[in-house]
Amino acid sequence: MSETRRIALVADAAHYVGPALARMLARRGHDLVLGDPSDELVAELEATGAAVEAVSGASNLVRPASAPALVDAVLGRFGRIDAAVAASGQIVTGRFLRSSFDDLEKVVAGCLHAPYHFLRAVVPPMVERGSGQVLVITSASAVRPTPGAPLYSAARAGATMLARNVADEVARANVQVNAVGTNFMDFPEFLAATGATDPEVRAAVEAQVPLRRLGSMEEFASFCSVFLDGSSTFTTGQFVAYAGGWA
């Protein structure tokens, strides 16, 4: 590990934007601790010169032990955390009047408990060190009513406000905490939840987006970079929607 390289934690490097974020951070001079990366991703990142610590069985942040295991791995290997990012939650659809309390518990566990566990684990060592950047990926549905996903939208709003409150609490310790919320992203879970694996349905879904397309993981990772790579540390407590103009 070079002393000039930053240390970043990507809680889930197996799904969603995790692999793209890991590649982006490696290109920007970070050594990495990754939750459940593929062997191929680890080899690809190490070929760029990044030191990579893979942590198996820790990407599911709903489990209370996962986030502490990731933090222990970072501190044990590198001694500090400069940046940490987590995406969590499961897309749960359905009308409120047809919902059950079990549906609510499921969505709250994935969308609120998970970011709580993550923040509770990564923020204290950053506060102790007096430096760090944290990004919590929530959902653009947190900022507007979302027909067909009311429980999901509500839980995402809770996670977004949790991140903003933590940011206010630790700002004086020079730790930045921000949230980014997505919608209409091109990844398997969204396509399955909306039926957009069918080309006709996809066209109808894309018609709801002002930019008339779905977002890619690579461009989203690029957007996240300013909240993680140390190039701009004067922003904290913010939420930005990344949804093609929908929110």
Average pLDDT over residues 194-204: 93
Q: Report whether pLDDT(160) > 70.
A: yes
Average pLDDT over residues 38-64: 97
Minimum mean pLDDT among 40-44, 105-109, 168-172, 187-191: which range? 187-191
Q: What is the rounded distance in angstroms from the CA atom of residue 223 to the CA atom of residue 132?
A: 18
Q: Cα separations (Å) of 218 from 10, 43, 183? A: 15, 19, 15
Q: What pLDDT shows up at residue 3?
A: 61
Average pLDDT over residues 226-240: 97
Q: What pLDDT shows up at residue 18?
A: 97
How many CA atoms are closer than 13 Å to the CA of 233, on its beta-carbon side? 16
Q: What pLDDT shows up at residue 1?
A: 44
Average pLDDT over residues 75-99: 93
Average pLDDT over residues 47-64: 97
Minimum mean pLDDT among 82-96, 113-127, 151-165: which range? 82-96
Q: What is the rounded distance in angstroms from the CA atom of residue 126 to the CA atom of residue 85?
A: 13
Whether 160 and 180 have beta carbons less than 8 Å apart is answered as: no
- In the predicted model, what is the mean pLDDT of the chain? 95
Q: What pLDDT shows up at residue 90?
A: 77
29-44 pLDDT per residue, tens: 999 999 999 999 999 9
Bridge partners of 97?
A: none
Contacts of 188 (CB under 8 A, 6+ apart): none
Minimum mean pLDDT among 34-43, 186-195, 230-239: which range? 186-195
Radius of gyration of the chain (CA): 17
Average pLDDT over residues 115-144: 97
Taken in order of first residue, the domains within the chain and their CATH numbers are 6-184+216-242 (3.40.50.720)
